Every structure is written in C-alpha cells, then in structure tokens.
Amino acid sequence: MGVSNTIQQLSVFLENREGRLDDVLKVLAEKDVNIVALSLADTSDYGMLRMIVSDPAKGRQALKEAGITAMLTDVVALRVPHATGSLSKAMHQIVEGKVNVEYMYAFANGNDAAAVLKSDAPERVVDILKGSGFDVYSAGEAYRANQ
Amino acid sequence: MAKIALENWNETIRDPKIECMSRDEMSALQGERLVKQVKNVYEHVEFYRKKMDGLGVEPGDIKGIEDITKLPFTTKEDLRDNYPFGLLAVPKEKIARVQGTSGTTGKLTLASYTQNDVDVWGECVARGLTMAGLNSSDRIHVCYGYGLFTGGMGLDLGAQALGAMAIPMSSGNTKRQLMCMEDFGATAFACTPSYALYLAEAAQEAGVVDRLQIRASINGAEPWTDEMRKKIEDILHINSFDIYGLCEITGPGVAMDCIHHKGLHVYEDYFYPEILNPADQSACGDGETGELVFTTLAKEGMPLLRYRTKDLTSMEHSICECGRTLPRIQKFTGRTDDMKVIRGVNVFPTQVETALLSMGGGVAPHYMLIVDRENNLDVLTVMVEVDEKYFSDEIRKLDSLKNKVGAVLKQALGVSVRVKLVEPKTIQRSEGKAKRVIDNREL
C-alpha cells in the first residue's frame, strides 16, 4: 500500500493570557485556513488547542509567522458509524493491540462521526483498526470533512 | 499580651558601657581593634596580604579607625573564589562552626566561626533581645529555619547568652507552631516578618491570640515596612522589632531596632559600618544613601575587611531616644545588584540561569522571575521558555518538564518556586542588562 492513513493535527500552545485564543483563530481565518474540528484542553497555566484544519502545513506556517508556537502531530481519524457500541468495539481492538491512547476527541462527519485519536504509535493504530474492519479517514477526507 | 505603649516602655540596655559609649571612646576602641585585625589578616590571610600589597598598604599604615579607607574591599565574589576555607585567619582546627547562605552561582557562601566568634554572635543577639524588652526569664520560640541558614542558630545563641529558654521550632507547620507557642507559654518569637504576619493571622483565625503569652517578636532576614510591623503588633498585641544581619559578617545580630523604631542600632564595636557612594566608594555623610560596607573588627575565624553588602541604606549617628549612641541604619531602599530575598533566602537570578543550563535541554536558559506576596508569604514564579525541540502537544509531557524544572530550581535556590512554561522566544533576550526580575511585593 504505502499510503499512510494518519493525518496531521495542528496543535497550538496557548499561554494563559487575555486574547490568546482569539489571536490564533484570527491568524487562521486571515490565511483562509478552515477549522474542521477542535479540542481545547486547559491546565492552570496554559491551554493546548488541537485542531483538524483544511491545510495543516499552511496553518502552522501562518501561526509561526505570527509568533505563535504550533506543531503538527500525527493522529488517526477513525470513522465511527452512528450505532451504539461502535466506538467501544474500536477501542477494544486498540487495547488488545496494547497501544496507549493519549487523548481523543470527536466530531460529526456527514452520516458518521470521526474520532481523532492520539497515540504513541499512530501507524499501528491504523493497522489495528483496518485489520478489524474499521475505516479511517484519509488526510484529504478529514481536512475537507463536511464540505 | 498587651502591647506596651512607648510612654510605658522601660528600656533595659544589656551592655551600657558599649551601647552608650561616647563617640570618642568608641572610635578609640574601634581603632585599637582595627589595627590588631589588619595586622592579623595581613599575617594570616594570603588574600588580604596580596590585596594590601597591591594597594601599597602595610599594617603599619593603619593607626586608627579613620585609616579604614586605605584598606581594600571584599566582595561576595571574593568569598566564592576562596570557597570554602580560603579566607580563614586561623587553622581549620580552631573553627567551631560554619554557616552558609546562597552564593551568586551554584556554590554557597560559607562563613566560619571560632568559639569566640560564636560567643560574640550570641552576645550581639542577646543585646538585641534585651532591646526587645526580653530577659533571662523569657521563653523564645524560634521559628527561623535551623541549619546552615544563620536565622535559627543566631536566635538560639542569643537566647542562650541571655539565659532565656530557647524553643528551637524551626520553620513551617503553622498549626504546630501555634500549638507549641501556646502549650510552652512562649513569651517571644522570632522569624521572618512575612511569616510573623502569616502566623499572626493564623492565630487570629484559630481564635488563640488571647491564650498566647507572647509579648514581643523579633523579625528580620527580609525587607518589611512599618505598616507590616504595626499589623503584626495589632493582631497579637505585642511589640515587634527588626533584626538585621548577614552570614558573611556573623548572621542576625549585626543591627537591631529599639522601641523608638528610628533605624537599626549597629553593634559597631564588632561590626564597623561604612556607607559609601556606589559610584566612587567615597564616604556618605549621615542621612545620605549609599552601599553598606562592614569590617569585622574582632572576628577570628573569617575576618572580613570592608565587605560590600550591596544593600543600600543611610546611617545616623545622633544619640537615640533610647539612650544608645550606637549609629542607626535605616531600612534598606534597595540593592546595587539584583539579589532578591524570598522567604528569608537570598536568590540571585544568575542561580536560575545556572540551574536551567545544568538541565541540558528541555528549556531555554531564558527566564523571568516574578516575586509576589500572597497571604503574606513570598511566592516566586519562574517563567521559563520551553525549548522548541521539546515542545509537545501532550500535557502530560509538558507537566513532567515543568515538574522537573521546579525540582531543579528548588534544589538550586533552596526555596520552592512556581514554574510557568511559556512559548519559545517570548522572553526578552539579554541585551546588556535585561530585566530578569519583577518584584510585585509592596514594601
């Protein structure tokens, strides 16, 4: 195959100061980078903004030029059919495969949902999921979700 | 206990001969001691012999206290260069005790005492305790830290010299402090002023103020204001006094304020003070602000000539209403360097840099120190830039980096810090003298 089915997430470190999130969103909007999904984790000192965007590399470059620390992280976007227990089954396979999930968030994508998974071995997660009959979104599909 | 009003105060002076000595007699005593001390260090301390030779000064040139200006200075860097025992004027076997404080980099500043030095130290603190209205029947609760830090040991030695009871509590565990204070019937306590206020408020909150027998507190090792003193006095109904000292010279007991609070009386028979213009080291007149410089006139273990404290203050020689002729130094207005005193511990920004560099990655050696006072306790926040290479979108990894930085800094500074990770390249780069410290404490 040779085609990787991991996708790139744009991750941004947000210092806990006024207007920082606004700054980030403004930069992306100005450069015409669309946000497909996002998750914002907060700690007492700082926040971590994780996004699936239309063009991660362009987004990162734009933020970098604006003096904002951003990085690209390999994640897996799992297609989760809208049926009770689908996510549970997928997670079970990942656990069986002894891969550790760092964090996860989900967004609706057409008739299905997408669960974005960060693990220490993204390629392996793709193999496990595909091997057990699950579908993962390609980069192209994920970056243009719901469009 | 009831706070004693000034008009009802009964002043006791431990050593009236010295503390109320005329200026002429004091100068003669100081001159005599200086002549002896200079001869001693010239003969026994290579560092001073070389310095004096370099200046072309011989012991014979020093005939009285007025000749002190001919002598070389000593700096904290000199102590570091001669660490740990390079400045001893006696064989190491004669050293009875060492005490230490932080240095500008990773190493400590170490001070060595002979048994006589220890006795003099205790005597000076006892003079101060007497100034605070205490005597041999008092019970002194010492909640300064014990250890290399001079606070705990200094007050302990003072209580011993006074013949009072010493209660060596050391610092921390406020609940236990209050319990012991009440149970043992302590009549005085000693700690940093910020902790004194914290303790006072804790006692008030716990409703135990009326059960305490405290009548005085002795507080020093960090800057404080008259307002803070009045607050402590009002809450606990006591009289509070400011004590000053530095490890290099002896520890607490170099100077202390009396009930009139018009400056701290310097025990100038042992520790000769000069106030010098920071620009050219010329002598400042009374009331003029300059750098405080000390010469230890009778110290045996590690005598120091003209030690530059880098503390800025002014001095008054007029006779105090308490009757003492000892000159008074005012509260410090600042420093000639960027040292900060955090909960009684000296912190130099350069220590932070050294510690961050020692981590070998993870964070850049760019930092900003922010000092605040929350609930009357000093809080040190260190803002550190995360190295781009170590950046992670996983909070667990960033938190573990943060904890590691916190542990390294605590070990290096001897005081716990709050670490705040910030984005790379957001802290001002040093161009000449970058501002590395923001002190938000209102003093």
Tell me if residue A97 falls in helix, strand or coil. coil
Which residue, A73, A107, A126, sits at the end of a domain?
Answer: A73
Q: Which residue numbers of B have CB closer than 8 Å to A's CBs?
A: 386, 388, 391-396, 398-399, 402, 420-426
Give the integer Cα–Cα distance in Å for B55 and B163.
46
A30 and A63, same domain (yes or no): yes
d(CA B150, CA B220): 11
Chain A residue with Cα closest to B425: A67
Residues A20 and A33 in one domain: yes
CA distance B382 to chain A (A): 12
Average confidence score pLDDT of chain A: 91
How many domains, in total, are found in chain A? Answer: 2
The pLDDT of residue B429: 63
Nearest CA-CA distance, residue B170 and chain A, Å: 32
| A118 occurs within a structural domain | yes
Closest CA to B214 of B228, B230, B196, B226: B196
Q: For residues B303 and B94, give the distance between their C-alpha atoms in angstroms, rounded to a whole number.
A: 14
Would you call A48 and B425 a contact, using CB atoms and an 8 Å cutoff? no
Residues 6+ apart with CB under 8 A from B32: none
Q: Which of B388, B393, B424 sits opposite A11 (nearest CB)?
A: B393
Looking at the domain assignment, is residue A121 inside a domain? yes
Give the closest of A11, A45, A73 to B421, CB-based. A45
Instruction: Determine, yes or no, domain membership for A128.
Output: yes
Q: Which of A73, A91, A116 is the last residue of a domain?
A: A73
**CATH number of the domain residue A45 falls in:** 3.30.2130.10
- In this structure, is residue A1 part of a structural domain? no
Q: What is the C-alpha to C-alpha distance for residues A31 and B94, in angstroms, rounded to an integer? A: 75
Question: What's the pLDDT score for residue B104?
Answer: 64
Q: Do B398 and A102 touch (CB under 8 A)?
A: no
Structural domains of chain B sorted by starting position, each given as residue range(s) with its CATH number in brackets? 6-336 (3.40.50.12780), 341-439 (3.30.300.30)
| This prediction's pTM | 0.75
**Hey, which residues does B113 pair with through a beta bridge?**
B97
Same domain, A92 and A35: no
Distance CA(B99)–CA(B91), nearest Å, equals: 17
Is B391 within 8 Å of A46 when comparing Cβ atoms?
no
Note whether A34 contacts B: Cβ–Cβ < 8 A: no
CA distances to A119, A134, B266 from A98, rounded to whole Å, are 11, 17, 71
Q: Do A93 and A39 share a structural domain?
A: no
Write out the residue range of the structural domain in which residue A84 sits.
75-143
CB pairs < 8 Å spanning A and B: 39
What is the per-residue pLDDT across B179-231, written as a single tens digit (0 to 9) for each? Answer: 999 999 999 999 998 889 889 989 999 999 999 999 999 999 877 888 889 98
A49 to chain B nearest CA, in Å?
A: 8
How far apart CA B204 and CA B24 sit, in angstroms, is 49
For residue B399, list chain A residues with Cβ-Cβ distance below 8 A: 43
Nearest by CB to A50, from B391, B393, B423: name it: B393
- The answer to whether residues A66 and A84 belong to one domain is no
- Answer whether residue A2 is part of any domain: no
Q: How far is A136 from A119, CA to CA, in rounded Å?
A: 15
For B393, the closest of A15, A43, A48 (CB atoms) is A48
| Same domain (yes/no): A54, A82 | no
Residues A61 and A87 in one domain: no
Whether A15 sits inside 8 A of B423 (CB atoms) is yes
Residues A37, A87 share a domain: no
Token readout for B147 is: 């250890």
* Cis peptide upstream of residue A56 (ω within 30 degrees of 0): no
Interstrand relation of B290-296 and B307-313 (parallel, antiparallel or unpaired) = antiparallel
Could you tell me the pLDDT band of residue A2, with boundaries at 50, 70 and 90?
Answer: very low
Distance to chain A for B422, nearest Cα, Å: 6
Residue B291 has a pLDDT of 94
Length of chain B, please? 443
- Residue B162: count other Cβ atoms within 10 Å of its Cβ: 24
Q: Are residues A86 and A135 in the same domain?
A: yes
Provide the token pair at B360: 């070998």
pLDDT of residue B352: 85
Q: What is the predicted pLDDT for the residue at B386?
A: 83
| List of chain B residues whose C-beta atoms are within 8 Å of the C-beta of residue A45 | 402, 420-421
Return the structure tokens found at B403: 């904890």
- Tell me which residue in B391, B396, B420 faces A69 most closely, judged by beta carbons: B391
Measure CA B410 to chain center.
20
Residue in chain B lying closest to A120 (CA): B394
- Asked if A132 and A82 sit in the same domain, the reply is yes
Q: What is the DSSP letter of B94?
A: G
Q: Tell me: do A69 and A96 sit in the same domain.
A: no
Question: Best interface-test mutation with B: which of A7, A8, A15 has the largest number of B CBs within 10 A?
Answer: A15
Looking at the fold, whether A58 and A111 belong to one and the same domain comes out as no
A110 falls within a domain: yes
CB atoms closer than 10 angstroms to residue B6: 10
DSSP conformation letters of A20-82: HHHHHHHHHHHTTPPEEEEEEEE-SSEEEEEEEES-HHHHHHHHHHTT--EEEEEEEEEEE-S
Quick one: which of B212, B228, B222, B221 has its CA closest to B261? B228
A44 in contact with B, Cβ within 8 Å: no
- What is the residue-wise DSSP string for B368-428? EEEEEEETTEEEEEEEEEEPGGG--S-HHHHHHHHHHHHHHHHHHHSS--EEEEE-TT-SP
Would an 8 Å CB–CB cutoff place A15 in contact with chain B? yes
Q: What token pair was written down for B112?
A: 């060595």
- With respect to residue A45, please indicate whether it lies within any of the assigned structural domains: yes
Q: End-to-end CA distance of chain B, in Å?
A: 28
A68 assigned to some structural domain: yes
Which residue, of A42, A73, A104, is where some domain finishes?
A73
Residues lower than pLDDT 70 in chain B: 1, 103-106, 428-434, 443
Give contacts of B401 with chain A, Cβ < 8 Å: none
Interchain pair B399, A43: CB under 8 A = yes
Nearest C-alpha of chain B: how many angstroms from A144? 23
- Distances in Å between the Cα of B121 and the Cα atoms of B91, B126, B159 are 20, 9, 11
A25: distance to nearest CA of chain B, Å? 17
- A101 pLDDT band, cuts 50/70/90, is very high
Q: How far apart are the first and last CA of chain A?
A: 27
